[in-house]
Amino acid sequence: MAQTNIQSGTSTDSSLRRQLAEFWYYFSENRGAVIGLAVFILLIITAIFAPWIAPHGPADQYRDAVLLPPIFQEGGRAGYLLGTDAVGRDILSRLIYGARYSLFIGIVVTCIALVGGIFLGVIAGYFRGWVDTVIMRLMDVILAFPSLLLALVLVAIIGPGLTGAMISIALVYQPHFVRLTRAAVMAEKTRDYVVAAKVAGAGPLRLMFKTILPNCMAPLIVQATLSFSNAILDAAALGFLGYGAQPPASEWGTMLADAREFIASGQWWVVTLPGLAILITVLAINLVGDGLRDALDPKLKRS
Amino acid sequence: MSEIVLEGRNIVREYHVGGGLFGKAKTVQAVKGVNFTVEKGKTLAIVGESGCGKSTLGRILTLIDPQTSGELLIDGKPINIAKDKVTTEMRRKVQIIFQNPYGSLNPRQKIGEVLGEPLLLNTKKTAAERRELAMQMLVKVGLGPEHYNRYPHMFSGGQRQRIAIARALMLSPSLLVLDEPVSALDLSVQAQVLNLLADLQDEFNLTYVFISHDLSVVRYIADDVMVMYYGEVVEYGTRDEVFSNPQHSYTKTLFAATPKSDVESIRARIAKKKAAA
Amino acid sequence: MSKLLEIKNLSVGFDTSNGMFMAVQGIDLSVEAREVLAIVGESGSGKSVAMLAVMGLLPKSATVTADSMTFDGHDMLTMTSKRRREIIGRDVAMIFQEPMASLNPCFTVGFQLEEVLRVHMKLDKKARRARAIELFKQVGIPTPEERLNSYPHQMSGGQCQRVMIAIAIACNPKLLIADEPTTALDVTIQKQILDLLVRLQAEHGMGLIMITHDMGVVAETADRVIVQYKGTKMEEADVLTLFEAPKSPYTRALLSALPENATGDRLSTVADFMKNEAANAGAAS
Q: Which residues of A touch B98 (CB under 8 A)?
A: 192, 195-196
> In angstroms, what separates the C-alpha of A37 from chain C's closest C-alpha?
21
Q: Say if residues C151 and C113 touch (Cβ distance below 8 Å).
A: no
Report yes or no: C7 and C226 within 8 Å, Cβ to Cβ: no
Residue B182 is classified by DSSP as T
Q: How far apart are CA C189 and CA C177, in angstroms?
A: 19
- Which burial class, exposed, middle or buried, applies to B142 when counting CB atoms under 10 A from its CB (0-12, 13-18, 19+)? middle
Q: Which among A22, A26, A303 is the nearest to C59, CB-wise?
A: A303
- Rg over alpha carbons for chain B, rounded to the nearest Å, is 21
Q: Of the spans A2-6, B213-217, B238-242, C51-55, which averages the highest pLDDT?
A: B238-242
d(CA C43, CA C48): 9
**Which residues sit opposite C133 in a β-bridge?**
none
Among A105, A107, A125, CA closest to A249: A105
> Which contiguous run of DSSP H or E holds residue C228?
strand C224-229
Choosing among B56, B64, B97, B108, which should be mutated to test the A contact, i.e. which has the most A CBs within 10 A? B108
C89 or B231, which is more confident: B231
What is the Cα–Cα distance from A259 to A98, expressed in whole angstroms? 15
CB atoms within 10 A of CB B271: 10
Q: What is the pTM of this model?
A: 0.83
Q: Which positions in chain C touch B276 (Cβ < 8 Å)?
A: 202
Specify the higher pLDDT residue, C268 or C47.
C47
List of chains touching A (3+ CB pairs within 8 A): B, C
Chain A residues with beta carbon closer than 8 angstroms to that of C17 = 21-22, 25-26
Pairing mode of beta strands C3-16, C68-71: antiparallel
Dist CA A244 CA A162 (whole Å):
5
Reduce the secondary structure of C88-136 to three states and give it as a string: HHHHEEEECCCHHHHCCCCCCHHHHHHHHHHHHHCCCHHHHHHHHHHHH
- C contacts of A22 (beta carbons < 8 Å): 17
Extract the runs of DSSP E, i.e. beta strands, from C159-206. 175-179
- Chain B: give the shortest CA distance to residue A256, in Å: 46
Determine the residue among B187, B255, B264, B265 to mutate to test chain C binding: the one whose Cβ has the most chain C Cβ atoms within 10 Å.
Answer: B187
The percent of residues above 90 in pLDDT, for chain C, comes to: 20
Residues of B in contact with A12 (CB under 8 A): 110, 149-150
Is C138 at the interface with chain B, CB within 8 A? no
- Categorize the per-residue pLDDT at A4 as very low, low, confident or very high, splitting at 50, 70 and 90: very low
Chain C contact residues (CB < 8 Å to A): 16-17, 59, 61
Report the residue count for chain B: 277
Q: Is C269 on the interface with B (CB under 8 A)?
A: yes
DSSP state of B52: S
> C233 vs chain A: nearest CA distance in angstroms?
27
Q: How does pLDDT run across C186-237, given as a tens digit for each residue?
A: 888 899 999 999 999 988 889 999 999 888 899 989 999 999 988 888 899 9
CA A179 to chain centre: 18
Report CB contact under 8 Å: A25, C59: no
CB contact under 8 A, B198 and C265: yes
Neighbours of chain B (3+ CB pairs under 8 A): A, C
Most confident of A15-19, B206-210, C72-76: B206-210
Residues in chain C with CB shorter than 8 Å from the CB of B215 are 187
Q: What angle (nearest 5°) sits at the alpha carbon of residue C201, between those of residues C200 and C205?
A: 115
Chain A: give the shortest CA distance to residue B178, in Å: 12
Chain C neighbours (≥3 Cβ pairs under 8 A) are: A, B
Amino acid, res. C169: I
* Least confident range of A160-169, B96-105, C70-79: C70-79
For C198, the closest chain B residue by CA position comes to: B273
Q: Compute the distance between CA of residue B129 and CA of residue B120 in angstroms, rounded to an integer.
A: 10
Asked if C267 lies within 8 A of B220 by C-beta distance, the reply is yes
Give ipTM to 2 decimals. 0.85
Q: What is the nearest CA distance from B188 to chain C, expressed in angstroms?
A: 5
Nearest to C171 by CA among C209, C126, C142, C206: C206
Answer whether A22 touches C (CB < 8 Å): yes
Residue A60, pLDDT above cutoff 70: yes
Min CA distance, A291 vs chain B (Å)?
Answer: 22
To test the contact with chain A by mutation, choose from C17, C49, C60, C61 the residue with the greatest count of A C-beta atoms within 10 A, namely C17
pLDDT digits (tens, 9 = 90+) for C96-134: 888 888 889 899 999 999 988 888 888 888 999 999 999
Q: How close, in Å, is residue B150 to chain A by CA atoms?
A: 6
Query: Tens of pLDDT along C142-179?
Result: 888 888 898 998 888 888 989 999 998 888 899 999 99
Gap between the Cα atoms of A33 and B219, Å rounded? 57
Burial class (CB in 10 A: 0-12, 13-18, 19+), C281: exposed
To the nearest whole Å, the CA of A4 is away from the closest chain C CA by 25
Calpha distance B275→B273 (Å, rounded):
5
Q: Predicted confidence band at C79 (pLDDT cuts at 50, 70, 90)?
A: confident
Encode pLDDT of C226-262 as tens digits. Answer: 999 888 888 999 999 999 888 888 888 888 888 877 7
CA of A127, closest CA in chain C: separation in Å?
A: 28
Q: Within 10 Å of residue B16's Cβ, how many Cβ atoms?
A: 9
- pLDDT surpassing 90 at residue A46: yes
Peptide bond into A248 cis (omega under 30): yes
Identity of the residue numbered A161:
G
Q: Which residues of C touch A29 (CB under 8 A)?
A: none
What is the mean pLDDT, run by run of 10 residues, along chain B of 277 residues?
83 78 74 91 91 89 89 88 82 89 86 91 90 92 88 86 93 92 85 91 93 89 92 92 92 89 85 80
Distance of CA B125 to the CA centre of its chain: 28
Do the Cβ atoms of A21 and C59 come within 8 Å?
A: no
Judging contacts by C-beta atoms under 8 Å, the chain C residues touching residue A15 are: none
Which stretch of DSSP H or E encloses residue C39? Answer: strand C36-40
d(CA A258, CA A278): 15
CA distance C21 to chain A (A): 14
How far is the alpha carbon of B118 from chain C, nearest alpha carbon, in Å?
30
| Per-residue 3-state assignment (H helix, E strand, C coil) for C239-264 | HHHHHHCCCCHHHHHHHHCCHHHCCC
| DSSP string across chain A | -HHHHHHHHHHHHHHHHHHHHHHHHHHHT-HHHHHHHHHHHHHHHHHHTHHHH-SS-TT---TTSTTPPPTTSTT--TT-TT-B-TT--BHHHHHHHHHHHHHHHHHHHHHHHHHHHHHHHHHHHHH-HHHHHHHHHHHHHHHHS-HHHHHHHHHHHH-SSHHHHHHHHHHHHHHHHHHHHHHHHHHHHTSHHHHHHHHTT--HHHIIIIIIGGGGHHHHHHHHHHHHHHHHHHHHHHHHTTSSSPTT---HHHHHHHTGGGSSSS-HHHHHHHHHHHHHHHHHHHHHHHHHHHHH-TTTTT-
pLDDT, chain A, mean: 86
Q: pLDDT at position A1, please?
A: 36
Tell me whether residues B104 and A192 touch, CB distance under 8 A.
Answer: yes
On chain A, the residues whose CB falls within 8 A of the CB of C59 are 302-303
A129 touches chain B (CB under 8 A): no
Give dist(CA C214, CA C216) in Å, integer: 5
User: C263 at the B interface (CB within 8 A)?
Assistant: no
Residues β-bridged to residue B238: B224
The answer to whether the CB atoms of C260 and B219 lie below 8 A apart is yes
Interface size, chain A vs chain B, as Cβ–Cβ contacts under 8 Å = 72
- Report the distance separating Cα B268 and Cα B235, nearest Å: 30
Inter-chain touch B192–C271, beta carbons under 8 Å: yes
* E-only strand ranges, chain B: 4-17, 26-39, 43-47, 69-74, 77-78, 94-97, 175-179, 207-212, 224-229, 232-238
Per the CB < 8 Å rule, is C17 touching A25? yes
Long-range Cβ contacts of A120-123 (<8 Å, 24+ apart) = A120/A174, A120/A178, A120/A181, A121/A177, A121/A178, A121/A179, A121/A180, A121/A181, A121/A182, A121/A184, A121/A185, A122/A181, A122/A182, A122/A185, A122/A208, A122/A209, A122/A212, A122/A213, A123/A208
Q: Which of B63, B100, B146 sits opposite A11 (nearest CB)?
A: B146
Q: Do A202 and B121 touch (CB under 8 A)?
A: yes
Q: Which residues of C touch A303 (CB under 8 A)?
A: 59
pLDDT for residue A14 is more than 70: no
- Environment class of residue A194 by beta-carbon count within 10 Å: exposed (0-12), middle (13-18) or buried (19+)? buried
A303 band by pLDDT with thresholds 50, 70 and 90: very low
Check CB contact under 8 Å for B146 and A214: no
Fold of A28-300: MetI-like fold (1.10.3720)
Q: How many CB atoms lie within 10 A of CB C1?
A: 7
Residues B65 and B53 sit within 8 Å (Cβ to Cβ)? no
Cross-chain Cβ contact B88/A9 below 8 Å: no
| Distance, CA of A136 to CA of A130 (rounded, Å) | 10
Nearest to C254 among B187, B214, B273 (CB): B187
pLDDT > 70? residue C91? yes
